[in-house]
Structure 1
């Protein structure tokens, strides 16, 4: 069987950047067994992305992290799937969730991390992203979430695209885009908005 990369229907708007971890810390070994590190070669260039295992033969990631791996994960204590949300799940503003990845740790061109980093992020009201000049043109509250307190230097940024936003051990969002300087808030894709499509796609590949 193939380990398929499910591609969510969003694209990076102009003047925005994909995700990395800023202001976080190294994750405890094997504490996030669903995490996937993707290194994608495209016409000689290399792209780094995150992803997460939702079935032994499916990794969920971002639309611009395209690729396909001919393999199947072997589940064990260090390799596990993560729960998907329910279709009607809604994460309230103020909720503290976690993001993890191997992206750059210092904007704009800091080094990529050799170890998995994680950071706490607080979900914001849609209005916070709608008021940001760079984000307001593209932000869609129907399929996206606004995450990250503008008063804190904790964020996702370049190199972490496709990684999960985990709330109470359930994946609720996917690292999407934000301002080019890496400051919060950032925009995450709502997994619940695509749940039906995700399940139908997995079922068709059983």
Structure 2
């Protein structure tokens, strides 16, 4: 079956020059058609940066490890992140659980769970996104989608107020092994996915980091990194590789969640 992949734009990509955060060549998403989308307001010293993420249980949001901060507030149920919409749930993050093997030099293991201070209230505007079975592979040629509030043009500063989305095609790993190196970032086919047709000007970009790549209504990828120019293909975390880690971390923290 054809998998449908979702691209999520993030407002700002947090690694200088890595720009995987915004959606380029997409369009505004139908309001609340992606109820799992989370907007991350990240405080880092005196700087305020943004990422995307997605709700996987009432207590946990999944995002990219490079979206870490001194403190993070999650906004669920948003369409326009510059307005206080009645659908929005604003929940501070209790704990940031970054993958212990996350390597900001190589960009590897760029995954982080956020434990919320209180459970999200699930309704038509706020919902969960399913995770794939462990080690499930997504075939090249599969069309998925991503969404986010990231930049809509490579040369435009600032993110999009409205949630944007775009369809992207999964590529063979070899396409990403040719991306000009971003600092020392290296493509690892075990932990990463290569997404976006190099012939089409469509991609996630700065500010979309941490958002989900949705294929057939399953979160197969997380916006991670790519060429500073915003050109596809770009690199996504391969979620299926990390299912045992995600389950273990949530199990470990679950007793605390009930407090």
Q: Same fold (TM over 0.5)?
A: yes
The separation in 2 between residues aligned to 1:196 and 1:98, in whole angstroms, is: 24
User: Any gaps of 5 or more consecutive residues in structure 2?
Assistant: 1-13, 73-92, 95-116, 255-259
The Cα offsets for residues 136-161 of structure 1, whole Å up to 9 and x where unpaired, read as 95000010000000100000000010
Question: What is the match of residue 130 of structure 1?
Answer: 177
TM-score (norm 2): 0.72
Q: How many residues matched?
A: 195
Distance 1:116 1:204, change over 3 A: same
Question: What is the match of residue 182 of structure 1?
Answer: 230
| Of 57, 61, 74, the match for 1:55 | 57
Between 17-26 and 108-117, the greater mean CA deviation after superposition: 108-117
Question: What is the match of residue 9 of structure 1?
Answer: none
What are the residue-to-residue correspondences of 1:1-206 with 2, within 5 Å? 15-66=17-68, 67=72, 68-69=93-94, 70-134=117-181, 138-206=186-254
Which secondary structure state, in structure 2, belongs to the residue aligned with residue 103 of structure 1? coil
The separation in 1 between residues aligned to 2:127 and 2:143, in whole angstroms, is: 23
- Aligned-residue RMSD, C-alpha: 1.6
Between 44-53 and 136-145, the greater mean CA deviation after superposition: 136-145
TM-score (norm 1): 0.90
Contact 2:21–2:207 under 8 Å retained in 1? yes
Distance 1:15 1:29, change over 3 A: closer
User: Any gaps of 5 or more consecutive residues in structure 1?
Assistant: 1-11
The Cα offsets for residues 15-36 of structure 1, whole Å up to 9 and x where unpaired, read as 4223210000000011000000
The separation in 1 between residues aligned to 2:15 and 2:48, in whole angstroms, is: 20
The separation in 1 between residues aligned to 2:201 and 2:149, in whole angstroms, is: 17
